[in-house]
Amino acid sequence: MSRVCWGVVLFFFLFTFPVQAKDSTVIARVGPYTLTRADFAKELAQNPQLRALLSLKPEMKKVLVERWVEINLLGLGGKEAGLEKDPQIRAEIEEQTRMILARHYFERKVLSGLKVTEAEMQRYYLRHKKDYTLPERIQAQHILIRVPEGADKKTEAAALAKAREIRQKLLAGADFATMAKKYSQDPGTRDKGGDLGLFSRGQMIPEFEKAVFKLKVGEISPPIRTRFGYHIVRVSARIPAQVQPYKKVKEQVRKDLLEEKKNQRLMALLRELRKKYPVEVHLENLP
């Protein structure tokens, strides 16, 4: 038996299929269990992992069927051997049963009929505009003069002096991109003229961000010390915070509103169930 397929198939065919309609084309039978083309197609539609596998290796369909037969043979053997009476196995079966019931109950009570209208989406967008606002962003270039971790005072002073020298050349009119390609010790941006692209607050290390967001467009910063060394920075553009138009974020609004409705339904359902069934939680007993 293929070791590659067993894990996938055990997941795919974890439970045997009941006998389907008489006109269903039979792929395989094992004792009381039947696998039809309709069964196979349905399970495949619900399993992206297997769809991806079969798109690359269509010949695996045959292997999947062979594994389905083997799993059901082993299952029947285990049943005949009375394994269902084993306490550990019985506990596993009960756990799987609870999971299946919970999933189907959730789908029927929470997901069934869940939809949103265009009017609801527009109202949601207006109430949550801040969630669809792009923060202020900066486009900048930098030149890095590295300072090794644990460097002595002499090395530190030399790096600072070099950074100040480069800044003076920039203030005198030297081209920033040319200077970055020549002097920067940041391999990720050096060949791009030191371009850091667009970034917003929270994307850079704090000491760098704090200094850079104070700069005006075109301004050359004094040396900025970070754990990497000294940075000379030039801000080339500032884009103020802006609310994205509804049309641009419409699909995200749909997803967000559906998620909100789903959570509201779920919370209401759980409150109802907690009234019916006693719940105890003892967090102090966590290991």
pLDDT at 54: 85
pLDDT at 75: 94
Asked if the model's pLDDT at residue 202 lies above 60, the reply is yes
Phi and psi, residue 253, nearest 5° = -60, -45
- Please name the residues in contact with 236: beta carbons below 8 A apart, sequence gap of 6 or more: 139, 140, 141, 217, 218
pLDDT above 90 as % of the chain: 80
pLDDT, average across residues 2-29: 54
CB 191 within 8 A of CB 204: no
pLDDT, average across residues 106-132: 97
pLDDT at 1: 40
Asked if the model's pLDDT at residue 15 lies above 60, the reply is no
CA distances from 198 to 71, 86, 116, 152, 188 (A): 54, 61, 35, 34, 15
Q: State the Cα–Cα distance between residues 45 and 63, nearest whole angstrom.
A: 18
Q: Note the maximum CA span of the chain.
A: 90
pLDDT at 119: 97
pLDDT at 3: 42
pLDDT at 12: 47
